[in-house]
Structure 1
Amino acid sequence: MSRPLLLLVVALAGGAGAGLRYALDRLVPSRGGFPLGVLVVNVSGSFALGLLTGLGAVVAPEVAAVVGVGLLGGYTTFSTVSVESVLLAERRRWRDAAANLVGTLLLAAAAAAAGVALGGLLANAFR
């Protein structure tokens, strides 16, 4: 695939990922104003990117770019976590703000690690 075409496909996949993020965020109800949908998006996206990374050489570089950079890059969002945490803090909901920041970091990192481990196991099974 040519570089200009790959760029276009990555950009389209990013738009699709952003649409998926919006849809899932609307489907998952907030709990008392806590942005649960964004948490679900970032944890599931981290797992998926970890899985893709763990698959490594089994996945073509173009596919990794489209899915990893495009789709999952558009799907996950650190900026929304930041804004939601600031908004919670402005409402003096310190515990929720801290839980959003720290919880997202810890859960997303654990999900990514689990995805990498599973991807590695699956990659070895395909070899």
Structure 2
Amino acid sequence: MAPRRDSLVVPALVAAGGAVGATARYAVGGALPGPWGTLAANVSGSLLLGFLLYEALRTDRLGDRTRTLLATGVLSSYTTYSTFVVEVVRATPLVGATYLVGSYALAVAAALVGRALAARLDPRSDREVWP
């Protein structure tokens, strides 16, 4: 029995988005080698993900497939926490710990900035999304 067409769409969206995200991540790594490229990708990806997911929760402008393409496909392959962990482990303990804490702090802050940007674009009450 052949698979249903719908069952092939989601993996295809993830794969296509992954190709775009991985290529963008490679470009960032080429422009900013080492931990700086990883930090830039993770923080900018967190900002975009915060914006995208908050906007998706607040409005119906993005469908499930668009969110899958962008969040699961593009942004999950653009951000690179596997490289981040290798860089933390390779660093001296003080540098590694500073990099670890700083990276997470910046990524969370960026996600919150993305959320705030989405709220500014569509200033509805956000009580139904964020209790």
Say which is worse superposed, 65-74 or 3-12, in terms of deviation.
3-12
Secondary structure in 1 matching 2:119: helix
Percent identity between the two aligned chains: 37
Query: Match for 1:20: what amino acid?
Result: A
Following TM superposition, where does structure 1 have runs of at least 4 consecutive aligned residues deviating by more than 3 angstroms?
none
Q: Which structure: greater helix fraction?
A: 1
Match of 2:20 in 1: 16
Query: Match for 1:120: what amino acid?
Result: A
Q: Any unmatched runs of 5+ in structure 2?
A: 125-131
Q: Deviations over 1:69-109 (max 9, x none)?
A: 10000100111111110011xxxx22221121111100000
Match of 1:94 in 2: 93
Query: Match for 1:98: what amino acid?
Result: A
Q: Any unmatched runs of 5+ in structure 1?
A: none
Under a length normalisation based on structure 1, what TM-score does the superposition of the two structures give?
Answer: 0.84
CA-atom RMSD in angstroms: 1.7
- Cα distance, 1:67 vs structure 2: 0.3
Distance (whole Å) between structure 2 residues aligned to residue 23 and residue 70 of structure 1: 17
Match of 1:122 in 2: 121
Is it true that 1:107 corresponds to 2:110 in the alignment? no
- Which of the pair has more CA radius of gyration? 2
Is it true that 1:6 corresponds to 2:10 in the alignment? yes
